[in-house]
Chains A and B, each alone.
Chain A
Amino acid sequence: MESDKSDRLVSNQKSAQLEGLLERLRKGDQIALAKAISLFENDPELIFYLQGELQKILAQSKSHIVGVTGSPGAGKSTLTDAYVSILRREGKRVGIIAVDPSSPFTGGALLGDRIRMKRHFSDDGVFIRSMGSRGNVGGLNDSVFGVIMLYKLYGFDYIIIETVGAGQSEVDIAYVADTVVLVLSPSSGDEIQLMKAGIMEIADVFVVNKADMDGAELLKMNLETVLNFSEVQKPIVMSVATSGRGIDELYQQIEKHRIHLYETGEISQRASRRMKKHAETILDNRIQSILQCIDSNDVNVMVNAVLDEICKSRFGDL
Chain B
Amino acid sequence: MGSRKIRVLIAKPGLDGHDRGAKVVARGLRDAGMEVIYTGLRQTPEEIVRAAMQEDVDMIGLSILSGAHMSVCKRILELMDQHQFHVPVFVGGIIPSDDGEQLMKMGIAAVFGPGTPISDIVSKVEEIVGQKVSE
Q: How far is the CB of B47 from chain A (nearest CB, A)?
A: 4
B26 A110 Cβ-Cβ under 8 A: yes
Given A114-B39, A118-B39, are A30 and B53 neighbors across the interface (CB < 8 Å)?
yes
Number of contacts between A and B (CB, 8 Å)? Answer: 99
Taking residues whose C-beta sits less than 8 angstroms from the other chain, chain B's interface range is 20 to 34
- Complex CA–CA separation, A273 to B4 (angstroms): 29
B residues in contact with A112, CB < 8 Å: 37-38, 40
Q: How far is the CB of B5 from chain A (nearest CB, A)?
A: 7
A110 B38 Cβ-Cβ under 8 A: yes
Q: Among the listed stretches A121-129, A158-166, A254-262, which one makes contact with chain B, having 4 or more residues with CB under 8 Å of it?
A: A121-129
- Complex CA–CA separation, A142 to B3 (angstroms): 12
Q: Tell me which residues from 74 to 121 in chain B have a Cβ below 8 Å from any Cβ of chain A.
A: 83-85
| Closest Cβ neighbor of B11 among chain A residues | A114
B34 A118 Cβ-Cβ under 8 A: no
Give the residue of A30, A42, A108, A132 whose beta carbon is less than 8 angstroms from that of B4.
A42
Q: How far is the CB of B52 from chain A (nearest CB, A)?
A: 9
Q: Judge if B132 is at the interface, Cβ distance under 8 Å.
A: no
Q: How far is the CB of B58 from chain A (nearest CB, A)?
A: 9
B51 A132 Cβ-Cβ under 8 A: no
A127 B54 Cβ-Cβ under 8 A: yes
- Complex CA–CA separation, A38 to B47 (angstroms): 20
B residues in contact with A31, CB < 8 Å: 53, 56, 83-85
Interface of chain A, main secondary structure = mixed
B30 A106 Cβ-Cβ under 8 A: yes
Taken residue by residue from 100 to 137, chain A's Cβ proximity to chain B (1 for < 8 Å, 0 otherwise) reads as: 00110011111110110010011000011110101100
B50 A103 Cβ-Cβ under 8 A: no
Given A42-B3, A103-B30, A135-B1, are A118 and B36 neighbors across the interface (CB < 8 Å)?
no
Interface of chain B, main secondary structure = mixed
A residues in contact with B38, CB < 8 Å: 110-112, 114-115
Give the residue of B37, B44, B46 whose beta carbon is less than 8 angstroms from that of A114.
B37
- Complex CA–CA separation, A147 to B42 (angstroms): 29
A42 B2 Cβ-Cβ under 8 A: yes
Q: Judge if B16 is at the interface, Cβ distance under 8 Å.
A: no
Given A42-B4, A43-B2, are A121 and B36 neighbors across the interface (CB < 8 Å)?
no
Task: Contacts A103-B31, A109-B36, A118-B40 known; list 16 others, CB within 8 Å.
Answer: A30-B54, A31-B84, A34-B54, A42-B3, A42-B5, A108-B33, A110-B36, A110-B38, A121-B47, A121-B50, A122-B46, A128-B51, A128-B54, A134-B1, A285-B2, A288-B1
22 contacts between A and B (CB under 8 A): A34-B55, A42-B2, A42-B4, A44-B2, A103-B31, A106-B31, A108-B5, A110-B36, A111-B36, A112-B40, A114-B37, A121-B43, A121-B50, A121-B51, A122-B44, A129-B55, A130-B37, A130-B55, A285-B2, A288-B1, A289-B1, A289-B2
Chain A residues near B (Cβ < 8 Å): 30-31, 33-35, 37-38, 42-44, 102-103, 106-112, 114-115, 118, 121-122, 127-130, 132, 134-135, 142, 285, 288-289
Chain B residues near A (Cβ < 8 Å): 1-5, 7, 26-27, 29-40, 43-44, 46-47, 50-51, 53-56, 83-85
